[in-house]
Amino acid sequence: MKRIIFYIIIFLNLSFTQSYSNNKLYEKIDLFGEVIEKIKKDYVDDVNESKMMDSAINGVLQSLDPYSAYMTPELFKEMQTDTRGEFGGLGIEIGMESGVVKVISPIDDTPAAKAGIKAGDYIVKIGDKQVQGKSLMEAVKLMRGPIGTSIELTIRRKNIKKPLKFKITRKIIEIKSVNSEILGKKKNLGYIRLKSFNENSDKQFLGIIKKFEKDSKIKGYILDLRNNPGGLLTQAINITDFFLDDGEIVSTKGRKASETRKFFARKGDQIKGKPIIVLINNGSASASEIFAGALKDHKRAIILGENSYGKGSVQSIIPLRNGGGMRLTISKYYLPSGDSISEVGVTPDIVVEEKSDDFKINSKNDNQLNYALRLFNS
């Protein structure tokens, strides 16, 4: 009898807690309605009610984290055209930070990269429009336009007082995710530049490794993930697996059981234990951080360069009834050590910052790559 009474008390307590929580939520919804009515009645200018509600919905999502966002039906339709690997634009991956649009990374050989846009830049104006207060998707839309037309970006850059202006011509962006060459004075180092983790990156990557492994002179590898904004989780797992014989690669944890998983390496190091240096910078994000973090945790590679971006979360695109959609964070990445990447990133074993103003990846002014080459030759 006592046990039955105990269960009834627990049930009543849970019911009260849930009812109290619901009442608080409904109070906030009523308050929101009151604010809307007062704006419509008393605000100095006429208000576009639809746009105001879109901004409110987006505000709710943006309050969660920098990567969750609302897309109107128009923006959602545009977003769906971006997933085919070819789109018109400037060639930059962007995110939100404290309500400001931040460059995660410029994509190699695109108009933005050639113009001099850098990872970590803050975009304050697009053309003559202030970016502050706009959603991420609205900023993306402003940067798009007819191929061959130009747009001016006003940038704030760390350690530079005056804003910088860049005039950039839009073009079709074709992302070729992998390229390679043989480096070193003795032509004995395999250099692989991975620009993104796209659908077929693992097949391209493996093909390059097999080609290099046929060359008996190759004694080590430099894997360059600088300005790689990430991509598909499956690709990050597959490519990391090429260099491990066993052990955990990454785990994801979310509220749903289906979003909590662990991924492990299969036996078979494709380069048979040869030494690896992985290059990262502030533009290395998401899947790049999984790759670099896993190899670091397993002591399989030396990580060299600058601290990575710190995007350690998984977003899902969820269609909505109005034809729009939302991008919602559903889980977070964790490295084999158990550390989260979110807002922290991967710290290099050897910190080497970009030096010259005319720094360019894989050029004579690339002091990070030059440092890696010296390590192999020492």
Output the six-digit token pair for 83. Answer: 């997933």
Closest CA to 75 of 330, 328, 319: 319
Query: Taking a C-beta distance cutoff of 8 angstroms, is the pair 129, 187 a contact?
Result: no
Q: Which of 297, 308, 313, 366 is catalytic?
A: 297
Cβ neighbours of residue 117 closer than 8 Å, sequence gap 6 or more? 90, 92, 103, 106, 153, 155, 166, 168
Q: Which of 102, 311, 331, 366 is catalytic?
A: 311
Q: Which helix (H) or strand (E) holds 334?
A: strand 325-334
User: Does residue 219 have an active-site annotation?
Assistant: no
User: Does residue 311 have an active-site annotation?
Assistant: yes
Cα–Cα distance between 324 and 69 in angstroms, integer?
11
> Which position has the token pair 């659908």?
199
Cα–Cα distance between 143 and 362 in angstroms, integer?
28
Output the six-digit token pair for 88. Answer: 């018109």
Q: Which of 180, 286, 288, 313 is catalytic?
A: 286
Which residues share a beta bridge with 262?
251
DSSP secondary structure code for residue 88 in this structure: E
User: Does residue 286 have an active-site annotation?
Assistant: yes
- Positions annotated as catalytic residues are 286, 297, 311
